[in-house]
Each structure stands twice: as C-alpha cells, then as structure tokens.
Amino acid sequence: MIPQRELFIAGRWVAPKQGKYLDVVSPASEEVIGRIPAANAEDVEAAVDAASAAAKSGHWTKTTGAYRAGFLRKMAQKIRDKKSELAKLETMDCGKPIDEAEWDMDDVAGCFDYYAGLAEKLDERQDSPIDVGMADFEVKVRREPLGVVALITPWNYPLLMATWKVAPALAAGNCCILKPSELASVTCLELAAIAEEVELPAGALSVITGLGAAAGAPLSSNPKVAKVAFTGSAATGRVVATSSVNQLRPATLELGGKSALLVFDDADVEKAVEWAMFGSFWTNGQICSATSRLLLHKSIAPKFLEHLKQRAESINIGEPLEPGCRMGPVVSESQYNRVKSYVEVGVAEGAKLLTGGKRPDSLSRGYFLAPTVFVDVKPSMRIWREEIFGPVLSVMTFETEDEAIALANDCEYGLGGAVISADPDRCKRVSEALECGIVWVNCSQPCFTQAPWGGVKNSGFGRELGEWGLENFLSVKQVTKYVNPGIWEWYGPKPKL
C-alpha cells in the first residue's frame, strides 16, 4: 500500500474541503492500493491565496539565490536517501519498470542540484550593467521571480516531470502550486513530505491532487497565478493556453509528439534496432518524444525488420517491481483501451502487424500490451499521424534523403526527431532539416538536465531544462539611474539631445 497523504498547502497537510478521494489502482494488478485527495475549486483557491500571501511576504521571493539553493540541495539529498522507496512507489503507481524508476530518481536529485547551482549564479548576475552609450545614465538589469506559478504535470514521469518545473521555479524564487496527474500523484505528494522535512518555507511549494477538470482547470485560470507551466496532451494544452491568454499571463506548454527516426542504408543494423526499440518502447512506450514513426531505407528494411521482430519479442515484459523487467503495463485501464483501439484501427486501415498487438499470453491481469510493430504503413493512416502513447511502432520505407525528410516533417507535431547514419554530413543535413525542437544523432531519447527541452508546431512552445528552464520563471526588470550631477535641462535653452 502507499502512504496516506492529504493536500499540502502552505506547509500544512489539509483534507480536501469536500472530503473526497480518488482510488489509486495498480496498473500491474488492477487492484486498489491506496487513495489520494480529490481537490476542487475551493481547495485550489485556498492554495492560490496561501501562495499569494507567501509571495507578498517576501520570506521566499525576496531571498537570495544562495539561500534558496540550500533548500534545493537538501531536497536533492533527501531524494537520494529515499531513492529505493520513491522508485518503488513510482512503479506501483504508474507501472514503470523499477530499474527505470530508480534511474528517474537519480535524475530528480540531479535536477535539484543543478538548479541549486543556477540559483547561486543568479546572485552573481543580479543588477548586471548594460552599456547604453550615454554617460548620463546607468542601466542595470534585475531578474526577479514572477510570484505564484502553477505547475501541471503528466503521469508518465510523475516525479521527474514535476521536478523539471518545481526545481527551476523554486530556484527563481517563485511560490509554486504543483498539480500532478490524477493517474500518478503518489511521488509528488512524497515530494511535499520532503519539502516539509527540509523545512522549506511555508507557501513556497503546495501540492494539490485531483481530477483535471476539478483542480487543474481552476488553477490554470486563476487570475492570481502569474504563469502556468503545463506538460500533457495537445488538447488540454489548448485549454490551458486559452486560459492563460484570457488572463494575459505567460504559459509554457510541452505537449504531444509523433517523432520520426530515420535510419539510412549505411547504419549498423544491430545498433539501430536497439535505438529503435529504446525510442519507442522505453517507459512502456508512454513518452511524448517517442520516435514511434520509423523510416527505414528500403535496401536494409528486410534485414532490419527481421532483427527488430526478434529483439522486440525478447523484451522482458512483466511485473514492473522485478529487477530486469524492461516493459511494464500502461498506466490505466482507459489508456490500455485507447492503445488497443489504435491497434484495431491500424489493422482495419490495412497495416500489417509484424509482432505484438495483444496482451502477452503469460499475463492474465494488468494493463499489459506486448511491444507492437506495424509494417506496410501509409502516411494517411491514423497510427502514423496520431499520438498513441503506448508501445506501438509504425514503420515506413524510403529511397532518398529528401523523401525521408519530407515524410518526417509531414506531421502536426514537432517535439523530437532522430537520424542514424555513418555519414556525418548527412546527419548534419538531416538534423538541420527536421522540424522539431530536439534532434538525436545515432541514438534516440537521451535527455539531460543541462540541455533545452521543448518543441514546435502542435508540440507546444517554450523550453524547459538548462538555463532556459530557469529563465521561464523569471521576470526581467530594467533599472535606469540618472548619474549626471547636473540638471537634465530638456526644457532649457540648450537641450541635452
């Protein structure tokens, strides 16, 4: 069972005002393993009011970056201390294989440490001078927190995606309200417990859980919120963007994807197959950046697909808490049914199943789907054009570089893309031609805290991670001082200009 937590508002655990809770269902067993509080608009308003009061008090927003860095480093250490416990809870909650969950916890701790360093550097950058070419004026730039920020996060990387927002937002000095997905909130509530343990000042971080319509919507549309940072579907992203526009507030949106992996005829087939699987089946195929469209050069397709089929069928799929598991269940019954429906659509539209497409014979319960590969796919098919968010890979072939690039770019999304080739010049050309925010060369999916993350087209706008992630949560203020001891004299007989 999972720990029983309430809403975390202004440093206190608070029961939801309507006394309602949501069951936490294990995607591996389909059994109820706990519950989380179900916040509503009243709870959201209480959290926003508390964060607003904290922001105005200045006991977090007016502190130095070095002061804030101390708390971020304490949180990083607590996460390392609790790595095994947190990873287990993550796996129980969302079905992620335990080895992946442990890797995620390392990344969570590293992300807090990284932004602690940037918080300290922020002090050094404060009041940086600008040469405006006039000796009469001294111009400096300040970087200040926005105030209250709403952070709405998904279920595929519950704690890591939350940290991508929480760590830089806290580093910048904002008062944060985190609203994780109702499908995977457990470790985010544990993050609140860690904040309490390190005595993070009250109001710097609140965590509210519940349904999107009941809690997420009133949070993203609250006029006291200075910014919304959202990761999720394009459909919900449009709603969040509309709310932000109506309030004349900025938003960062990291939305869906349908990334392409281009494999050329000079690629090492064995290495490329491994990256094709990792790019599509990692995290049970539930990755916004998944390279779920595979473009193979026609000359290597038969050999590549033979090897891919063999390797996909050898993936260790089963109980995600077992070390060595490489694929667990998808997150929920509704997601399972959604992915299965896409498999049915693919078959109905004329694509051919190379492997998978059903529950593994060895697993009688849980939301498991075998690694699935479609061939004979056409560009008009839904499995090629729409984000499935499950372990489904669609394959097409090409003959020329221009054809491959055109097929890759013919997509409403633009989050990621990848190219595998032994030719460095080709890799450079393709990297520059792909219409996306992230390009991988001779690999797929590596992600680093120090590097920007985000997309174009319907994959959203803005960048997270790296220095860009911090800038997202800062307001830039110009401070201009008149330093000439004499009078300005614009209205005198001899104006200055």
- Indicate whether 427 pLDDT > 90: yes
- Indicate whether 489 pLDDT > 90: no
For residue 208, give every residue at least 6 positions away whose Cβ sits within 8 Å of its Cβ, in sequence order, or none: 7, 8, 9, 37, 39, 43, 44, 47, 177, 178, 179, 215, 219
- Indicate whether 377 pLDDT > 90: yes
Tokens of 317: 């799929």
- Indicate whether 266 pLDDT > 80: yes
Q: What is the Cα–Cα distance from 417 to 432, expressed in whole angstroms?
A: 11
What pLDDT, on a 0 to 100 scale, did the predictor assign at position 497?
66
- Indicate whether 27 pLDDT > 80: yes
Point out the residues that are catalytic: 254, 288
Band of residue 490 on the pLDDT scale cut at 50, 70, 90: confident
Average pLDDT, the chain: 97
Note the pLDDT tens digit of each residue in 432-466: 999 999 999 999 999 999 999 999 999 999 999 99
Model confidence pTM above 0.75? yes
- Indicate whether 423 pLDDT > 80: yes
Tokens of 206: 């609140």
Which residue in this structure is represented by tokens 């054809």? 403
What pLDDT, on a 0 to 100 scale, did the predictor assign at position 38?
98
Mean pLDDT of 163-175: 98
Tokens of 148: 């209250």
- Indicate whether 225 pLDDT > 70: yes
For residue 142, give every residue at least 6 positions away whose Cβ sits within 8 Å of its Cβ, in sequence order, or none: 126, 127, 476, 477, 479
Note the pLDDT tens digit of each residue in 324-368: 999 999 999 999 999 999 999 999 999 999 999 999 999 999 999
- Residue 51 near residue 206 (C-beta atoms within 8 A): yes
Instruction: Look at strands 175-179 and 148-152 and give their pairing.
Output: parallel
Q: How many residues does the chain have?
A: 497
- Per-position DSSP letters for 28-42, written without gaps between them: TT--EEEEEE---HH
- Residue 41 near residue 72 (C-beta atoms within 8 A): no
Q: Which residue has the higher pLDDT, 492 or 73?
A: 73
Tokens of 201: 């000042």
- Indicate whether 209 pLDDT > 90: yes
% residues pLDDT > 90 (the chain): 97
Q: What is the Cα–Cα distance from 255 to 169, expressed in whole angstroms?
A: 19
From the CB of residue 15, how many other CB atoms can be counted at a distance below 10 Å? Answer: 12
Note the pLDDT tens digit of each residue in 271-329: 999 999 999 999 999 999 999 999 999 999 999 999 999 999 999 999 999 999 999 99
- Residue 261 near residue 293 (C-beta atoms within 8 A): yes
Tokens of 343: 């498999």
What pLDDT, on a 0 to 100 scale, did the predictor assign at position 496?
65
Phi, psi dihedral angles at 149 (to 5 degrees): -125, 140
Q: Distance from CA of residue 368 to its chain's centroid?
A: 23
What is the Rg, in whole angstroms, of the alpha carbon atoms belonging to the chain? 25
Instruction: Look at strands 137-145 and 128-130 and give their pairing.
Output: antiparallel
| Closest among 358, 416, 413 to 387, alpha carbons compared | 413
Distances (CA, A) of 345 to 248, 353, 383: 41, 12, 7
What pLDDT, on a 0 to 100 scale, did the predictor assign at position 342?
98
What pLDDT, on a 0 to 100 scale, did the predictor assign at position 1?
83
% residues pLDDT > 70 (the chain): 99
Mean pLDDT of 205-220: 97
What pLDDT, on a 0 to 100 scale, did the predictor assign at position 493?
80
Q: Is 363 left (phi over 0), alpha (psi -120 to 50) or beta?
A: beta
